[in-house]
Chains A and B, each alone.
Chain A
Amino acid sequence: MEVFAQTIVLSLTYVTIYLLLGTSVSLIFGIMGVLNFAQGDFMTVTAYVSYLGVVTLGVGWLLSGILILPAAVVVGVLFYALILRPMRNHDPELVLVATFGVGILLQGVVQVIWGGNPVGISRSNAAWVVAGVQVPHSLAADLALAGGALLILLWVLNRTRYGREIRATSQDRIGAALTGVNAGRVEFVSVVLAVVLTGVAGLMLTQHQLLTPQVGADLVLKAFAVSILAGLGRLGGLVPAALVLGFSEALVGTYVSESIAQAAVFGAVVLTLLVRPEGFSSVRLRS
């Protein structure tokens, strides 16, 4: 039972990372109709920026998040202005290949600046012990960060003009444009929002594992899995989808085998796409 509880607690970190990444993927897919393979590499870049803050500038982990914000905004603006906007009328499959190109380019930039070897910040192992289960202090920071970021996103989506426009556009692109929604602005705002969310995931990642230029590209598949389970382009079911995926990955990995755990995660994606491609949540971009 203790092993079970410990597995669940430790998996929560990656659940939140998958959740943030998956939300970004879904947001961009919902608005732009683009499956963004570079999303993981955006996380890599922001994670390295946080590493830069901690190790090179010595500002401490949480403060390095302040560096991430402008970095994420710059990446988001460039990504939208140089790739997504000019390619708005292109074949979606060509855009998908272009996002691969962006990802490879970013991996190259990271590798040239920081080298290909794993790097990391010194991490603390401090933990509370609750009923025999170790609860790392870092987990609290993760949950607070991810929860805060998602609450802000919910607030933007539900309570601001931009949010209403984003929801309207994702429901009916032409209808929204006809009622006077500025499609370009909606796209711009949602892409930047998505990259900033990814930046939060990058900040969390630095705290938990060594970074390599490929770290994001490896994790982005899990984000796809989460967003497909909830339904690509839908923000409704992302939290349960991330919980189900993260928990089952961790539990099967602990009790059966790591290979079977990975097979189960992607098997779930295959089954979802075959049986219910629209995903298991019924609401689109609503809280």
Chain B
Amino acid sequence: MNAARKLLDSRPSRRSFAICALGSLLIGALGLVPWGYESSQFVFEVLILAGVAVSWNVLGGFAGQLSLGHAALFGAGAYFAGTLARTQQVAVPLLLLGAMVGGVLVGCIFALCFRARGAYFAILTLALTAVLHQIVAEYAPGKNDGISFDVFSATSTAPLKYAAGGVGLSVLICWAVTRSRLGMAWRAIRIDVDAARALGVGDLAARIGALMVSSALAGFFGGVYALNLGYLDPPTAFAPTWLLIPLLATVLGGAGTLVGPLVGALLWTSIAHAFPGTWFGGGTAYILEGALLILITLAVKQGVWGVVVQLWNRLTDGSRWWTARRRASSSDVSHEALR
């Protein structure tokens, strides 16, 4: 056993908590570094993506419910924070609290989707997101034209601080929850929902718990993103970006691990920035991202972070990793894949 392995799947222990707390503090400290303009944009993008990815990871990684609905949770947070900022004079933390409440409220609607499983669950969350997008475009303040508000000045470093602090706290929350009874239930239903039910794990309660944690986090980062942007329209808030990239970044980094989403977010944003274009980057970035995803899902399965951990283990085991065979068979690989 070594530290990295412990961080991944050890039982509650001081050492693992210490490592996680230190990591969270380091992430939070990113908000205090005096970045230049260019790099602060990059760091902010990484942090927002990491935050939504951590949120997606709670539902899609730890609890194993493949969600395509995070754009709606993110958008709800963004719209709640934006509308509050436009109409009320309240402190930023309260705005972000509003964003989290917004995320959770929309999360309650998404609880409907638990009627379905697997691919049906995924497509249900996707369709519900599309409905909510159009409803906001028709009835929310500003309708299709969107709303604008003025919370942060253009040069303010506060959004970066909120994003960094938020990601740090989210990681700590994930650490705590995955080691609680609820987190154990997530692991059980992810591996085999029927077996878990037979053993008396309340799968619906566990899934709803995951959804609530996930939607509060997604709402928070939606709020930070919107307040930093200063304006909001439905295509921005509900962009497919927000349902796709967190999912893809998490799978890239390693779904169901604490560090995976962070690694994935950093990797994804770096690729997109190396070949500038949209959030996905230019054409070359698309090709790289697509190829990486195919490779990960096809062969590596536990994501980039999983590979790092594996290599680390092999090195510290004293065995040579390049001679060691992969022992996992295809049946337990699918379980491993989401760990």
Contact = CB atoms under 8 A, between A and B. Distances in A.
Contacts of A267: 127, 131
Given A97-B247, A101-B297, A104-B290, A266 B127 contact: yes
B293 A104 contact: yes
A108 B289 CA distance: 9
Given A259-B137, A270-B127, A273-B127, A100 B248 contact: yes
Interface of A: 29, 33, 35, 82-83, 86-87, 89-98, 100-112, 116, 213, 217, 221, 224-225, 228, 232, 257, 259-260, 262-263, 265-267, 269-270, 273-274, 277
Contacts of A108: 283-290
Contacts of A217: 240
A198 to B, nearest CB: 18
Nearest to A110: B283
19 contacts: A35-B122, A89-B334, A93-B119, A101-B291, A104-B248, A104-B286, A105-B291, A112-B283, A112-B284, A112-B287, A217-B240, A221-B127, A225-B127, A228-B123, A266-B127, A266-B134, A269-B124, A270-B131, A274-B124
Interface residues of B, number: 52
| Interface SS of chain B | helix
Interface string B229-253: 0000000000010001001100100
B277 interface: yes
B58 interface: no
Given A93-B66, A111-B283, A259-B138, A221 B130 contact: yes
Contacts of B247: 97, 100
Interface stretch (B30-38, B110-118, B155-163, B172-180): B110-118
A35 B119 contact: yes
Contacts, number: 158
B280 interface: yes
Contact of A90 (B66, B280, B286, B297): B297
B103 to A, nearest CB: 19
Interface in B83-142: 112, 115-116, 118-120, 122-124, 126-128, 130-131, 133-135, 137-138
Given A104-B280, A104-B293, A109-B283, 11 more contacts: A89-B331, A93-B122, A96-B122, A100-B247, A101-B289, A105-B293, A257-B138, A260-B138, A263-B138, A266-B134, A274-B115
B302 to A, nearest CB: 11
B40 interface: no
Contacts of B298: 83, 86-87, 98
B309 interface: no
Contacts of B286: 104-105, 107-109, 111, 213
A33 to B, nearest CB: 8
Given A108-B290, A260-B134, A95 B297 contact: yes
Given A94-B301, A111-B282, A274-B112, A263 B290 contact: no
A91 B122 CA distance: 14
Given A87-B297, A92-B118, A111-B282, A97 B127 contact: no
A94 B294 contact: no
B208 interface: no
B330 interface: yes
B256 to A, nearest CB: 12
Interface in B168-211: none
B338 interface: yes
